[in-house]
Amino acid sequence: MKPSSILSSLNPATEPDSLASHERAEIDASTRGPVLLFFGSAVFWLLAGSLLGLLSAWKMTHPGLLDSMAWLTFGRIRPAHVNIVTYGWAFSAGIGTGLWLMARLCRVPLMHSRLLVSAAVFWNLGVLVGVLGILAGDSRSIEWLELPGYATPVLFIAYAFIGVWAVIMFRYRKPGHVYVSQWYLLAAFLWFPWLYATANILLVWQPVQGSAQGAVNWWFARNLLGLWFTPIGLASAYYMIPKVLGRPIHSYYLSILGFWSLAIFYSWNGMHHLIGGPFPAWMISASVVASIMMFIPVVAVAINHHMTMRGHFDALKWSPTLRFTVFGAIAYTVVSLQGIAMAIPSLNTLTHFTDYTIGHAHLGLYGFFSMMMFGAVYYIVPRLVGWEWPSATMIRWHFWLVATGILLMAGSLTFGGILQGLALYDPTVSFQSSLDYAIPFRWLRGISGFFLLAGHVVFATLFILMILKVGRRREGPALFAAPDDDTSATV
């Protein structure tokens, strides 16, 4: 590759790559089977995961709740919840979205769809077997990787199909400018198998001795969120925001800066979950530094999205896709800045080991990623089934229920966590006090779980109605309100 060709590849395309409508139709038709299969699985796991999450939350305020049976004990329900929402809901929704985005951005119809359908079946099988294994008592108790050793190879095989497919698609794409969403998707598809294989080998199959396990565990868990879910979420945002508005992304150069600084710094963050732990000082310091450096990609992405939206925020009034996506994008900025703050050792003394971390985790995986996925689903599914969402009112209910739920959850756990942390730090205060301070906030968190579950039931109902094409045929998209500008009815 000559230097001049690398340099020329740094210039943004001056002309948009066009896709004729019939090409789009062909591409969408080719993605129909796998994407709907992944989305359908995702919706199922979302409901199951929300139920278990609700149960876990109320077990903390009412420890006697359903505590007589081994398979319902908190220590098993909680990891079952985490693994279902992560590997069941988030993965399936993310892969479904990623497949559709890849096909659109490669500008070729999806190839080898049977490979992907097999992948979906294997994936769901792996998650089901794994979660039942956790409830039966085979949990590894490795956070974010509790699935027993007999389930993880199934997931890995399913993923291998997807990874191979992604590389083939990219190789056979229509030549031309590679849009930023594709960098993120390609990177995510390449990073995940390396992460998953390393973590499984060094933690599950040939466990490394001693506290090195903690390092590998949190390198994996941090990167699962930052190098798998974050890129997919950002890929969706980078596509949906300019697509719905019909405007270009503000700055190609900020996209480059954001992508590479994420790639360089994010993967070193892992040890910030273990500040003060049994690790050499330099590892912890490296993670603290890398966490602070994350300021750069987060701000770059935030500027890009904000400046693209600037002057067009009234689109949030009518577009469901945009409303969910922008909520997710704002949540991404907030949760990342919160995470950077939590990595500073003097603040970490207050937040470590408290509910604050749980609030942060939910704000990230739900407030950012799940909301992003809802936005993507609302955009993609009409194009696959040839039907419009039957009820804008239901979409509105969905949005407000889950927005209230996640804000209530994150807010209550943040405040409660700080009080808990203050009590844990003060040597004159008993351990009991840290529990007492947290009680009212744990109640609020439990209530937020009802909001979230209700929102998910509405969402699942909408999804099923779409698949079954119920209701009268709608002309034009389901929007919250009539758009002011005729040309903006593009959802």
Partner 1 sequence: MNVAEVHGSILREQSEPRDGCEPVPLWLLTLFFCIIFWAGLYLAYNSGGFRSDVFDSSRTAWAGGGATETGPVDPKVLGRRVFTQNCVVCHQTTGLGVAGQFPPLVGSEWVLGGDWHGDNHLVKIILKGLQGPVQVKGATYNNAMPTWSQLTDEQIASVLTYIRSEWGNAAPPISAEYVKAIRDKTADRTEPWASGDLQAIPAEKAPAVETPPPAPPPAPAAPSA
Partner 2 sequence: MNKLPVIFVGVLLTFAASWLGLVVYPFLALGHMQSVPDEDTGGYFPPTLSGLAVAGQRVYAANGCIYCHSQQVRPAPLSTDIEKGLGPRRTVARDYLRAQPVFLGTMRTGPDLTNIGLRQADANWLHRHLYDPRSVTDWSIMPSYRFLYKMRKIQGWPSGDALDGLTGPLAPPAGYEVVPTGDAKALVAYLLSLKRNYPLPEAPMPPAK
- Contact positions vs partner 1 (CB under 8 A): 12-13, 16-19, 21, 24-25, 28-29, 32, 104-105, 177, 179-181, 238-239, 242-246, 248-255, 257, 278-282, 284-286, 288-289, 292-293, 295-296, 299-300, 303, 307-308, 382-383, 386-388, 475-477, 489-490
DSSP label of 274:
G
**Shortest distance (Å) from residue 109 CB to partner 2:** 20
**Shortest distance (Å) from residue 349 CB to partner 2:** 6
**Shortest distance (Å) from residue 449 CB to partner 2:** 17
Q: 277-290 in b/e burial notation, b at 16+ Cβ within 10 A? A: eebeeeebebbbeb
- Residue with Cβ nearer partner 2 (21 or 206): 206
Considering CB distances under 5 to 8 angstroms, the limit depending on partner class, which of partner 2, partner 1, none binds residue 18? partner 1
- Residue with Cβ nearer partner 1 (35 or 300): 300
Report the C-alpha gap between 104 and 77 in whole angstroms: 39
Check if the beta carbon of residue 124 is closer than 8 Å to that of residue 91: no
**Shortest distance (Å) from residue 322 CB to partner 1:** 12
Query: Which amino acid is located at 122 in the chain?
Result: F
Considering CB distances under 5 to 8 angstroms, the limit depending on partner class, which of partner 1, partner 2, none binds residue 225? none
- Residue with Cβ nearer partner 1 (211 or 430): 211
Here the tokens at position 303 are 């500027």
Find the Cα–Cα–Cα–Cα dihedral 271, 277, 282, 284, rounded to 10°.
30
Considering CB distances under 5 to 8 angstroms, the limit depending on partner class, which of partner 1, partner 2, none binds residue 3? none
**Shortest distance (Å) from residue 210 CB to partner 2:** 5
- Residue with Cβ nearer partner 1 (250 or 273): 250
Check if the beta carbon of residue 134 is closer than 8 Å to that of residue 77: no
**62 CB-near residues (< 8 Å, 6+ apart):** none
Considering CB distances under 5 to 8 angstroms, the limit depending on partner class, which of partner 2, partner 1, none binds residue 156? none
- Residue with Cβ nearer partner 1 (242 or 364): 242
Instruction: Tell me the backbone φ, ψ of residue 473, rounded to 5 degrees.
Output: -65, 135
- Residue with Cβ nearer partner 2 (170 or 397): 170
- Residue with Cβ nearer partner 1 (270 or 382): 382
Check if the beta carbon of residue 221 is closer than 8 Å to that of residue 273: yes
- Residue with Cβ nearer partner 2 (214 or 449): 214
Considering CB distances under 5 to 8 angstroms, the limit depending on partner class, which of partner 1, partner 2, none binds residue 425? partner 2
Angle at 171 between CA 166 and CA 177, to 5 degrees: 100
Least Cα distance to 436 among 420, 413, 452 occurs for 420
Considering CB distances under 5 to 8 angstroms, the limit depending on partner class, which of partner 1, partner 2, none binds residue 471? none
Considering CB distances under 5 to 8 angstroms, the limit depending on partner class, which of partner 1, partner 2, none binds residue 398? none
Query: Which amino acid is located at 230 in the chain?
Result: T
**Shortest distance (Å) from residue 281 CB to partner 1:** 4
**Shortest distance (Å) from residue 26 CB to partner 1:** 9
Least Cα distance to 214 among 161, 135, 287, 150 occurs for 287
Considering CB distances under 5 to 8 angstroms, the limit depending on partner class, which of partner 2, partner 1, none binds residue 297? none
**Shortest distance (Å) from residue 487 CB to partner 2:** 30
- Residue with Cβ nearer partner 1 (29 or 454): 29
**Shortest distance (Å) from residue 133 CB to partner 2:** 10
Check if the beta carbon of residue 362 is closer than 8 Å to that of residue 413: yes
What are all long-range contacts of 113-117, with beta carbons under 8 Å and residues at least 24 apart?
A: 113/30, 113/31, 113/33, 113/34, 115/161, 115/164, 115/165, 116/33, 116/34, 116/37, 116/161, 116/162, 116/165, 117/33, 117/34, 117/37
